[in-house]
Structure formats: C-alpha cells, structure tokens
C-alpha cells in the first residue's frame, strides 16, 4: 500500500485529506463524489474518526485506488497487451524452427511465475498479531456508506477460501458486514466459488476456514473480481500479469495462505450450520440489496503491519471505481471469451448498464441466426450468463465505445422479428425479476442491413407530449432521441397509477408517431434530458418477460418501479442516495465543492 500511495503521488493521482472526517457516511460520500469527476483521483484520509463511538483512528483510509484509466495501467498494466499475451498462449502451436522453439520455451518458462509461492515464517501482514478477544473489528476504520445500510461493511476485502480437500483455492471480492467485534457476514452469492466450498464443509459437518486480506498490492483486488473459470486460483492471474509469483504466508489460526504484504488479515471460521440476516446494502447496481440469510465468520485473529493502511471502495450509482477495473477486465478476458465464441470480434459492457445488465458485442456474421446462436453461447458462459440484455452488431459497425455512432447503427437495424426473448439465470443482486436470481433475457440481432422505413410520422416533442396528455394525465414529460434513425426513441415520465401496458394500449392512436417508447417514473430523480442515467434506470428495472410490449410494429419498454399494479410480489428496493444533510455539511466546511447541476446529473 505504501508503494501504491507513492506511485499515485508521483503521477499526480492522489489527493490527501487531512480534515477530520467520519467513517459514518462522510468519507464514503466524498469518495463517491470524487470518482464521478472527469479528473478523479485516489483519496487518502489521514484524520479518521468514529464520532458515534467517540473514537479516533491512527490508521489512514485509502479510497478510489483505481481512480481512472491511468491508475489501472499503473497497477495492472495495459489490458489490450495482456489480452494479446493470453491469446498467443491459447493459439500456441508446436514449434518447428529454432526461433519458434526459443519463443515457445520463453512463454512456457514464464508460466512458472503463475504458481503462488508459499513462504515459511511470518509475513509483513503479521507484524502485529491479535488473537481471541483482542482481535476486534472495531479497531479497523470500517465504513458505513449509506444511511439504510445494515451496518459497517468491509468493501475491499480479499476473501481467501479453499475446498474441503484442499485442492481448490479461491480469492473472491465480497462485501462483508461487521455485526460486532468478532462476527463478520459473508455475502457469498449462490453462483460464487466460495459458496460451493461452503456446501462441501456443510455436508461434511465441518467449520470452514476463511482468511480475509485488506490492502497490499492493488492487483489482488482486481484478481479477486476477475471472471476466471471455477478451479483456477485467482492469484495465478496475479503471477501471469506481474510475471512474478504471489508471495504467501500461512494464517496464524487456520491453514489458509494469504499474501505476505497485505496490510490486514482477518482470520476465522464459518460455522456451516448457522446463518444470519445480512444487509441491506447500497450496492453497485445503484439500488439497495435487501436482507437475506448468509453465512458469517467468527473471528479468531486479526494481524496487520506495524503501520497499515485501510483500503476501501464505494459503490452505488455509476460511474464508479469499478468502471475502470471493469474495462481492464473486458480487454484481458476477450481472448478467453473467444474460445467459446470464436466469431466474436469485440465486446463492451457500459458502466451505466452496471456491466451485467447490458452488453454490446461485435461479431463476424457468417450465416442466418448466427447472432442468436451467440446470444445463447454468452448466456451459458460463466459470469456472462448473468447478462440481461445483449445487443449484437456486425463487423462493419463503428467502435463499440463510440456511443452516438453505435447507437445510431443499432437503431437503424432493430427488427421486431429479430428480437429474442428468453429466460434464465440473472445476478443475485437483480431486483427486477419476479423470482430471485431467475429472470428475463433480451437479445437484439442488429447484424443485418438497415431496416426499411416503417412509415411513422415524427412530431415535435411538445406536440407529441400534448397529444399524450390529451389521452392521459399520467404522462408528465417527454423527450425524443435519435429521430434521424429508423427507430427513434420516445422517453416519457409518468405518474404511475396502473400497469403500464394499459398506458401503452391507451396511446394506440399515437403509434403512427412512435417507434420505440420507453417509460420511467416521474419521481426518483428521473430526467428525460439525462440519457446516461436513463439507461442505468431502464436496464436495471426491466424484465423482458414482463416489461416488453409490442403492437403494430411499436415497441414499449416499461422501466418504472414495479409494484402491485404489476403483480410484483417481491419488495422493490430504494435507490442508493447520498444524505443531503451530509453533503450540505461537507460543502459548508469547504471539503466538497459540487454544484446542484452535478448533484442532478449523477442523481446523488
């Protein structure tokens, strides 16, 4: 961490905050605002307090370590270059010439560094050892990020687990709720490797050892969220990218090996016969995930460096730190995805689609139905199986990150006959599906030629809005986008009083003026002039099996919050919002300098 801090300083990527700031809301709110700025930097908080418990920490808190693309390259490397190295290994052929043999030997010899090295003795992470009742989680400056959070959460914990037979090891990134000084919640979602291990121990009637690292090389964080196949230890990726072995030491009270340079290690065991309510927590979807039962760890030891730094991140509405980590992941894992989908050229997961809610993929289209085949392939591959909305374009499409150009390309090719609506597994954090972890999938095949004119008559925004309001007073505002394309978008806000299919049907006289209609609530800070946050809202809120309506060549997407009008039985969660009182206090003290326009833009 000290080295990482020096790297950030040297590259003018660090802002040091010496003001007295609270672990309850203040520090997370500052980091949340900072990461949304175009010139965002990492933040080092040096004067950390817990006012609720009248406590002052001598441990600094570092946040937003992956504050922008430059920081990612400094700590991880060039994603495209690393991806190319992986691709060359995957395509490696038996060498024939001497130069090919030397090149192949070099590549294979370098792979020796992928195996983590177990060291004898203690590491820097064990310079201070606290056992039993002396190991108190309250000694760490664990942050409470949002007002509705169930308590403080460790947000950058590296969770190290092992299978029952010890043959498989895993590093995962999970939120960890602090219940008390010796109890830590394990948010192991049903699809995660650690959850598979948990059930092995549960079946055997044994307690499960767990060790959690905080800090150390920032690369550990990225490895922990990397979508590797089950059975591959994430620290092997560390060795491959860094071209050096991860250096491990044995935990003090269990047999888990952890990086020797972590700032903190929290050790313990999970009693697999017990569960506890975890949450709520304002998560990276921008919504609170609701209370559910999860395993919890009983802490047996906390070890740390003599002068540790506590590392944390903040999650909520985009853009966030995961934007930069996610883009690196895209580049590096493209070659691995191509092994399942060989005709894939490129893919892009916009951060305001919170990654698993929207993917745009470019393919080399070889035959009719090729895109549909690829959709099924994506929905069956690892974490890609969680993707709710997949749009496929042909190789002649613009760069996927050129937002205006690629959107026009897609809208000129949307054909109702080429929509694929399916059902399958969705992320456990998804709140819009009628059932937990199972929901609708929507695939758009936009690989063909531009569609023909469909004979709608465009009206001006105010004229179309007036006509809608003549039909129903539920419609409050309207804006049209991409009116130059074959499938213009009309976005409306509504005061929701009934199922939106009824609203859509009531607007039937206007189908001759509308090609694609998107509906959102008039509340919840929704603004028809803010397309970035509208995309975030809509892909979060729709389940294609329920919220997609098609009639007379007009498409409607219902992006409203669901309730009894929709026969929605689950509890709909609240948006993740900053405390206005905290923002105002930070502004008055001169710590935050943000405008009302900034607050509105990112729906803080």
Percent of the chain exceeding pLDDT 90 equals 79
> What does pTM read for this prediction?
0.93
101 and 241 inside one domain: yes
* Lowest mean per-residue pLDDT among 223-227, 430-434, 476-480: 223-227
169 and 272 inside one domain: yes
Give the other-Cβ count within 10 Å of 182's Cβ: 18
Asked which of 446, 476, 510 is the last residue of a domain, the reply is 446
209 and 143 inside one domain: yes
* Measured distance CA(150)–CA(280) in Å, rounded: 5
Q: Is the peptide bond before 280 cis (omega within 30 degrees of 0)?
A: yes
How confident is the model at residue 104, as a pLDDT?
Answer: 46
230 and 351 inside one domain: no
How confident is the model at residue 191, as a pLDDT?
Answer: 64
Q: What is the mean pLDDT of residues 489-502?
A: 97
How confident is the model at residue 250, as a pLDDT?
Answer: 98
109 pLDDT more than 80 = no
137 and 278 inside one domain: yes
More confident call, 103 vs 228: 228
* Lowest mean per-residue pLDDT among 65-74, 238-247, 554-563, 566-575: 238-247
How confident is the model at residue 91, as a pLDDT?
Answer: 54
Give the pLDDT band (50/70/90) at residue 342: confident
Give the pLDDT band (50/70/90) at residue 242: confident
Q: What is the mean pLDDT of residues 117-127?
A: 96
Q: What is the mean pLDDT of residues 309-322?
A: 96
Q: In 3D, which of 280, 383, 286, 295 has the Cα closest to residue 333? A: 383
379 pLDDT more than 60 = yes
How confident is the model at residue 30, as a pLDDT?
Answer: 98
Q: What is the mean pLDDT of residues 288-301?
A: 95
113 pLDDT more than 60 = yes
Q: What is the mean pLDDT of residues 354-368?
A: 94
How confident is the model at residue 77, as a pLDDT?
Answer: 84
Q: How many domains does the chain divide into?
A: 3
CATH number of the domain where residue 422 is located: 3.40.1670.10
433 and 488 inside one domain: no
Give the pLDDT band (50/70/90) at residue 92: very low
CATH number of the domain where residue 225 is located: 2.30.110.10
Question: What is the residue range of 179's domain?
Answer: 78-312
Has residue 528 been placed in a domain? yes
For residue 275, what is the enclosing H or E element?
none
What is the overall mean pLDDT for the chain? 92
* Lowest mean per-residue pLDDT among 53-67, 118-132, 182-196, 486-500: 182-196
Cβ(222)–Cβ(76) below 8 Å: yes
Helix (H, G, I), strand (E, B) or coil at 390: strand
391: β partners: 360, 444
465 pLDDT more than 60 = yes
Has residue 253 been placed in a domain? yes
417 pLDDT more than 80 = yes
* Measured distance CA(599)–CA(604) in Å, rounded: 5
Residue 376 CB burial class (10 angstroms; 0-12, 13-18, ≥19): middle
Q: What confidence tens digit (pLDDT) does each residue in 420-455 have?
A: 999 999 988 899 999 988 999 999 999 999 998 777
How confident is the model at residue 419, as a pLDDT?
Answer: 94
288 and 213 inside one domain: yes
* Measured distance CA(338)–CA(345) in Å, rounded: 8
* Measured distance CA(603)–CA(540) in Å, rounded: 15
366 and 282 inside one domain: no
Q: What is the mean pLDDT of residues 296-302?
A: 98
101 pLDDT more than 60 = no
148 and 294 inside one domain: yes
98 and 210 inside one domain: yes
Strand order in the sheet with 548-551: 475-481, 489-494, 516-521, 554-558, 548-551
How confident is the model at residue 94, as a pLDDT?
Answer: 58
Percent of the chain exceeding pLDDT 70 equals 95
Cβ(360)–Cβ(347) below 8 Å: yes
DSSP secondary structure code for residue 287 in this structure: B
């Amino acid at each position: 961490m000290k080295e990482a801090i020096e790297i950030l300083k040297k590259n003018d990527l660090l802002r040091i905050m010496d003001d007295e700031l609270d672990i309850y809301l203040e520090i997370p709110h500052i980091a949340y605002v900072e990461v949304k700025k175009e010139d965002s930097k990492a933040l080092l908080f040096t004067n950390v307090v817990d006012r609720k418990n009248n406590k002052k920490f001598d441990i600094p808190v570092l946040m937003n370590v992956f504050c922008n693309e430059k920081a990612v390259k400094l700590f991880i490397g060039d994603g495209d270059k690393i991806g190319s190295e992986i691709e060359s290994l995957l395509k490696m052929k038996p060498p024939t010439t001497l130069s090919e043999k030397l090149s192949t030997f070099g590549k294979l010899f370098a792979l020796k560094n992928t195996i983590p090295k177990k060291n004898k003795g203690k590491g820097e992470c064990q310079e201070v050892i606290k056992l039993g009742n002396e190991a108190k989680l309250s000694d760490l400056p664990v942050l409470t990020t949002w007002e509705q959070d169930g308590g403080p959460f460790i947000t950058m914990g590296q969770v190290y687990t092992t299978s029952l037979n010890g043959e498989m090891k895993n590093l995962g990134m999970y939120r960890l709720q602090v219940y008390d000084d010796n109890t830590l919640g394990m948010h192991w979602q049903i699809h995660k490797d650690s959850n598979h291990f948990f059930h092995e121990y549960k079946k055997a009637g044994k307690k499960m050892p767990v060790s959690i690292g905080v800090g150390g090389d920032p690369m550990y964080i990225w490895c922990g969220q990397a979508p590797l196949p089950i059975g591959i230890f994430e620290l092997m990726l560390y060795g491959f990218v860094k071209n050096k072995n991860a250096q491990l030491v044995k935990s003090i009270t269990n047999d888990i090996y952890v990086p020797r340079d972590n700032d903190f290690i929290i050790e313990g065991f999970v009693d697999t016969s017990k569960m506890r309510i975890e949450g709520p927590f304002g998560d990276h979807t921008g919504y609170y995930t609701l209370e559910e039962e999860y395993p919890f760890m009983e802490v047996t030891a906390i070890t740390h460096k003599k002068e540790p730094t506590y590392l944390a991140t903040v999650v909520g509405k985009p853009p966030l730190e995961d934007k930069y980590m996610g883009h690196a992941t895209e580049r590096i894992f493209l070659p691995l995805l191509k092994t399942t989908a060989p005709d894939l050229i490129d893919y892009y997961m916009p951060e305001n689609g919170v990654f698993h809610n929207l993917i745009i993929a470019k393919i080399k289209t070889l035959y009719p139905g090729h895109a549909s085949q690829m959709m099924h392939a994506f929905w069956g591959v690892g974490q890609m199986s969680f993707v709710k909305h997949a749009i496929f374009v042909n190789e002649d499409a613009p760069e996927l990150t050129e937002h205006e150009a690629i959107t026009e390309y897609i809208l000129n090719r949307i054909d109702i006959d080429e929509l694929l609506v399916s059902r399958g597994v969705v992320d456990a954090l998804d709140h819009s599906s009628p059932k937990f972890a199972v929901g609708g999938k929507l695939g758009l095949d936009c690989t063909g030629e531009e569609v023909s004119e469909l004979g709608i008559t465009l009206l001006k925004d105010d004229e179309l809005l007036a006509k809608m309001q003549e039909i129903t007073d539920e419609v409050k505002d309207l804006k049209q986008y991409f009116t130059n394309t074959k499938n213009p978008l009309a976005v409306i806000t509504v005061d929701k009083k009934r199922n939106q299919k009824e609203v859509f049907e009531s607007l039937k006289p206007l189908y001759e003026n509308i090609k694609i209609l998107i509906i959102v609530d008039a509340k919840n800070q929704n603004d028809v002039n803010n397309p970035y946050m509208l995309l975030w809202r809509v892909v979060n809120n729709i389940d294609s099996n329920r919220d997609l309506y098609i009639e007379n060549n007009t498409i409607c997407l219902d992006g409203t919050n669901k309730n009894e009008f929709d026969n929605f039985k689950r509890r709909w969660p609240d948006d993740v919002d900053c405390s206005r009182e905290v923002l105002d206090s930070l502004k008055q003290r001169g710590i935050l300098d943000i405008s009302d326009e900034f607050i509105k833009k990112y729906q803080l």
